[in-house]
Amino acid sequence: MIHSVTLFNAGMVAYFLAFLFYTIYTFSKSSWSSRLATALAWLGVLLQGAGFVVRGIEKAKVNMVSDWTAFYKYAPFTNMYESLMLFGWMAVLIYLVFEWKYKNKAFGMFVIPLALIGELSTQILGFNEEAQPLVPALQSNWLLFHVVTTFIGYAAAAVSAGIAYAYFIKREDTTTRDWAVIFVTTWFIFFFIIYSAFRENFVIYLGVSAVVAAAFCGFLYLLKRIGVSKILPSIDAMEQMMYQSVAVGFVFLTIGIILGAVWAKYAWGGYWSWDPKETWSLITWLVYAAYLHARYIKGLKGKPLAYFTIVGFLSVIFTYYGVNLIIPGLHSYAQ
């Protein structure tokens, strides 16, 4: 049987090629590159979907289980490598749903890289690729449902952030202050990813993250200068897409937190223990609750809405990377 890592890597190659052809389409508007980009993105989704099935079988063997319950009881989402693959896979899948719904492929150039960065970080940061036995706390029927719903929420947050970055390219009145906000938030996103893996040389990684964030902002500015904004949807349409993506993510984050609380009751005897992961999950939930309130009740729109979207994704990154690897707690086994 083909190894799950091979399928995951093949999916990453397909995503990278899809990103290239989305970029070609963005600049040339050629129909062949458009069709090829979407086909490659779907190919990556199918390959990595198969990878999760194979991974489930591998984990069942490692845990010496052979019946049909193995896939959901020993679900392949229990360490940093597997969960990052799940994050990237779901981000691309949600993007493809949005692409189909809104009939606009310009966002592929912004969202696909976010999925790729997450998945490629497993290689760069050296996370263990091998299927591992599950610790007793994770041997539960609740595992599949809690992790999948939570990561749908995370992936939707990534899609909304990709749209928010494109939003500042679309606007004609993007100012130096706007670029500064993008730089600072992106700086911290990269910092949490890089530093949480190594947990040393704080100043050095802060500097490396600043350089990466500056390069990213420079890339966005270049896209704006060469006229990519012309092929993006209208400002109002992009604000609606950000809102809908966050709404989807919020619903699944809510379900994930509820399922996690119920699971905690069975595993640890209480619904809530103020574990660092639980606390920051709640903070992220409150950020997005405030976002939806500001948008739906107060009518928030324009640049503040895009700022809010990126800050929400920053909270997701810290909840996932920062808390998981920097702050010890009951969730520290998920590495």
Note the pLDDT tens digit of each residue in 117-146. 888 877 776 777 777 766 666 666 777 788
Percent over 70 (pLDDT), the chain = 86
Alpha carbon distance 290, 302 (integer Å): 16
In a domain, 329, yes or no: yes
Residue 158's domain comprises 135-335
Radius of gyration from C-alpha coordinates of the chain: 20
pTM: 0.85
Q: Are residues 149 and 112 in the same domain?
A: no
Average pLDDT on 104-111 reads 83
Average pLDDT on 274-290 reads 88
Average pLDDT on 27-36 reads 84
Helix (H, G, I), strand (E, B) or coil at 33: helix
Q: Are residues 257 and 174 in the same domain?
A: yes
Q: Are residues 109 and 151 in the same domain?
A: no
Residue type (1 letter), 125:
L
Task: Give φ, ψ of 227 to 5 degrees.
Answer: 90, 20
Alpha carbon distance 252, 238 (integer Å): 21
pLDDT at 329: 58
Candidate ranges 25-29, 89-93, 202-206; pick with highest mean pLDDT: 89-93
Domain count of the chain? 2
How many helices (H) and strands (E) in the chain? 12, 0
